[in-house]
Chain A
Amino acid sequence: MTLHDVYLLSPELSLAGVGLVIILLDLVIERKGVLAALAVAGLAVPLAFSIALFGDLSAEPNEQMTGIFGTLVVDKFALFFKFLVLGVLALVIMSSVDYVSKMRHFQGEYYGLMVFSAGGMMLLAATTELISIYIALELTALPLAALAAFLRDSRSSEAGVKFLLLSAMSSAVLLYGMVLVFGFTGTTHLPEIFERLGDSMDPSASFGSPALFLGVILIVAGFGFKISSVPFQMWVPDVYEGSPTPITAYLSVASKAAGFAVILRVFYLAFGEISVDWGVLFAALSALSMTVGNMVAIAQSNIKRMLAYSTIAQAGYLMVGLAAIAARVPEGETPIGPSSILFYLGAYAVTNLAAFFAIIAITTRTGSDLISSFAGMGRRAPILALILAFSLISLTGIPPTAGFMGKLYLFSAAVKSDLVWLVVVGVVNSVLSAYYYVKVIRIMYMERPESEERVTTAYVPQLALYVSAIGILALGIFPGPLIDFAETAAAVLFL
């Protein structure tokens, strides 16, 4: 490992440093609020390194730098996710302040584990080698399992154990798939897999060969767990419901984003040759996820469970972008599937975070996760209710919100790839989802409240809430800059 390698890894290394410092300081600092402030402030270090790397990229060939024996890459794609993860992490920490202050123990560990997991997510987007992917995945998942169990009541413990077990199982499945691919090609480097596949494939068989077919299916199953796609979604509702709500928000946004990052890398870089086959696979999973997620969400009475099913549906929308593959795009044009996923991940991050932050603020005061307990919030907490309503509208995909622009971009990609049927499934699902999203709005504004007591929240979580709400509106009206960034970031997949 050279000094240059250390520089390339500096965002992740410094992030891990921040996590360690917080855990150590927890031993000596009495006022735990300071820890959160330190954690957010500490994120400036990895952010600064990321910006420095971003600046150095333009001088490099293909705007790409590789290190540590080719396992680590720094390119705009990786940096896109570094910025996204850091932003999400900062917001989630800010929103946790009020929630965590009720805990008696381990507040430092709470922030520390979150930071470690973020390091894993950033690594996931920054590697093009299967073993590193696996390690980054574990680094992401283990802290999350601990965090899910953090409340130490029966539901939370169940969430933690469930997440741990199913995560381990999915990792095993993923590993098996990787082994098959390795056995078939003799390498774990994604670009090399691509080259060797090109030589040895049977173009007439689907997926090139039965072994590869099995390998790809197992890899999809492994990653499907991370992005909560149907039929690998069974852990989602229980874990989302049982975990501390800020962790649920974190899981639903950051962890999913990292999952999509690694899927894009693996499938575009290694399996580009057989994209027609996995394109169909993702189209089917996408239609399934959207439909199942939305259908089941309608019946929920607990808001966290409802949003759990909603994120399953959102994963379905995102996979529309995976189905929109290069092979179907007209000659001479660039496919926009990957960049539309990146943009949607950004739009979805601000939207879902705003929704969860409002829910955290409200449920921390009312003590109930039931949708019915949101009755009359329009009057009891005008601003929180307004932002929650706005984010639900964005999740539905009604303009002028980030969610609308995201869906516009995703579905554009699909139509361009000749997948009109999938778009029809998508928009019909949007209508379905309107039913349960709007139901919450209806209850907040039209039902009588249980009490007239005002619901307020502390200053710092409010700030996180405003930032994400402004993000929804800004991306809904001026999506241009983020779309441009997403396009340059996704360009590395087509080198």
Chain B
Amino acid sequence: MLSLIVFIPLAGALVVLLLRQDSHIRAWAALVTIADLALAIVAFVMFNTGDYSKEGNMEFVERYADWIPALDIQFHFGVDGLSMPLVLLTALLGMCAVFASWKGAIFQEVGRVKEYFMWLLLLQTAVMGVFVSLDLILFFIFWELELLPMYFLISIWGSGRKQYSAMKFLVFTFLGSAFMFVGILALYFSVGTFSIVELPAAVEGAKLLIPAVSIFSLLFIAFAVKLPVWPVHTWLPDAHTDAPTAVSVMLAGVLLKMGGYGMIRIAVGIFPGTAQEYAWLLATIAVISILYGAVVTIRQTDLKRLIAFSSISHMGYVLLGISSVVGVSGAVSPVGLTGAAMQMFTHGTITGLLFLLVGMVYDKAHTRHIPDMSGLANRMPLTALVFVIAGLASLGLPGTSGFVSELLVFLGTFQVWAWMTALAVLAIVVTAGYILWTLQRVFFGPQVQRFADIKDASFVEVVPMAALVIAIMVVGIYPAIFTDVFQLGLEPIIESLQLSGAP
């Protein structure tokens, strides 16, 4: 099941190489991602939320122990409550990305449709693989595999200083993963296993090659670059601004989540004690990211860059939720971590949608410069409506998914870091400010003559928009559909946190 979900896009990418006509390639890519999404939905529905008997609560486990026996590397796939929703998210946004590339304004300049869809599908395989791998080396292989598609997608089909941005992305991420690599090796030679399921128990009380805090930091830095948090966030605005729309959707939607996922599953999951010891530091960085991101966002005049900076602020909530692991007097509440996980999912859908919309507006208005735009709602009412929904979800309006996750994060963290959480809540006000101001400047106000003959979204463009709006509303109204699953997945981590947190 999981192998299918992971490798269908890869197989699809190979078939793309054989196709000749652009329209066939597009249709094929859409078919592949829809099939992948269907499989992911089936997996999500079949996902049993009540069975605790399996090793590490993993489902759909696929394990071939003798992949590389000499180095003790196994081929080990499996999902639990933490990764299952992220797999679903990846499949959903993967499909949206294909539809977002349909019209192909980006292809007018460079062409090369075949390569584009090949890289896009390969990217989906890589990200899926990260979420389902239960062997650290396998995880690392998929983690690195994602670099090249991203590099090519940004530097060939991007805009602006695309090559600079692509190289910056590559160097930052590669440097981060280089640290992770050392951390993984140090872990392996301390306890003798690469298995993510076995490591937490194995590390406990074991004598490590280098201090636990060094391994924790090596791993954490890699994930922090990816998330990204201040001060290693600088690659993100550049990459986002210069990437083609679909790639921004994937980048904001799922690639950043690899960082959050790694933090929870690997950094915190394996080193609960160290995470608790340094939770104050995590909280501090989180609050800086949240506030810094929000304040810088206001100052942006490029619509895409604006959304990019807002991502930094929003991903700060993920880290803030994680910093609640220290608990209060030995009792760790699962609310904060659940909030962090939820925030990853909701940010994926909301920001994915926002980037989609920005891309669409740019395709039609040929500008992303906010002061140049005005009154677009008159010409594209549907787009404006969806933009309003996404914007409101982004600022956390009750009834949308954004509200649920931010509420959970604040609830979980407030008991632990009251002052810092209070500071972070300030950012909500700023967020409301920049979102509403942007909406007003771009879509409302007097209509500009220049935009008189702009058309609203076409059917192909509505498909991904509708899919994401539904996801946002469903989670907003009935969050338990994901919170329960996340909580189930986080249970073992919370347990180990309770143990190491007890005096």
Contact = CB atoms under 8 A, between A and B. Distances in A.
B151 interface: yes
Interface in A455-484: 478-480, 483-484
Interface in B171-188: 171, 174-175, 178-179, 181-182, 185-186, 188
A44 interface: no
B210 interface: yes
Contact of A479 (B68, B155, B171): B68
A445 B152 contact: yes
A54 to B, nearest CB: 20
B163 A442 contact: yes
Interface stretch (A58-66, A194-202, A239-247, A414-422): A414-422
B148 A393 contact: yes
A429 to B, nearest CB: 9
Interface stretch (B81-89, B139-147, B242-250): B139-147
A106 to B, nearest CB: 43
B18 to A, nearest CB: 14
Nearest to B175: A431
A478 B171 CA distance: 28
Contacts of A435: 167, 171
A442 B69 contact: no
A400 B140 CA distance: 10
A396 B144 CA distance: 11
B107 interface: no
B71 interface: yes
A371 to B, nearest CB: 15
A408 B71 contact: yes
Given A398-B148, A428-B178, A446-B163, A480 B70 contact: yes
Given A408-B137, A415-B186, A446-B156, A483 B68 contact: yes
A268 interface: no
A49 B304 CA distance: 67
A412 interface: yes
A304 B119 CA distance: 29
A231 interface: no
B278 interface: no
B155 A483 contact: no
Chain A interface mostly: helix
A480 B69 contact: yes
B224 to A, nearest CB: 16
B185 A398 contact: no
Contacts of A409: 71
A399 B171 contact: no
Contacts of A411: 181-182, 185
Interface in A413-461: 415-416, 418, 420, 423-424, 427-428, 430-431, 434-435, 438, 442, 445-446
Given A415-B209, A480-B70, A483-B71, A442 B155 contact: yes
Contacts of B68: 405, 478-480, 483
Contact of B70 (A400, A420, A424, A487): A487
Contacts of B175: 428, 431
Contacts of A405: 68
B178 A431 contact: yes
Nearest to B214: A420
Given A399-B144, A415-B209, A418-B209, A484 B70 contact: yes
A309 interface: no
A404 interface: yes
Given A424-B182, A431-B178, A445-B156, A399 B145 contact: yes
A282 B140 CA distance: 29
Contacts of A428: 175, 178
Interface in B59-99: 66-71
Interface in B10-58: none
B170 interface: yes
Contacts of B147: 398
B437 interface: no
B185 to A, nearest CB: 4
B189 interface: yes
B152 A398 contact: no
List 6 A-B pairs, minimum CB-CB distance, nearest first. Answer: A427-B178, A483-B70, A399-B141, A415-B185, A431-B175, A415-B189
Given A420-B209, A438-B167, 12 more contacts: A399-B144, A411-B181, A412-B188, A412-B189, A415-B185, A427-B179, A434-B174, A446-B155, A479-B70, A480-B68, A480-B70, A483-B68
25 contacts: A398-B148, A398-B174, A399-B140, A399-B144, A399-B145, A400-B145, A404-B141, A408-B71, A411-B182, A415-B182, A415-B186, A420-B210, A424-B182, A427-B179, A427-B181, A431-B174, A431-B175, A435-B167, A438-B167, A438-B170, A445-B152, A445-B156, A479-B70, A480-B67, A483-B71
Interface of B: 66-71, 137, 140-141, 144-145, 147-148, 151-152, 155-156, 163, 167, 170-171, 174-175, 178-179, 181-182, 185-186, 188-189, 209-210
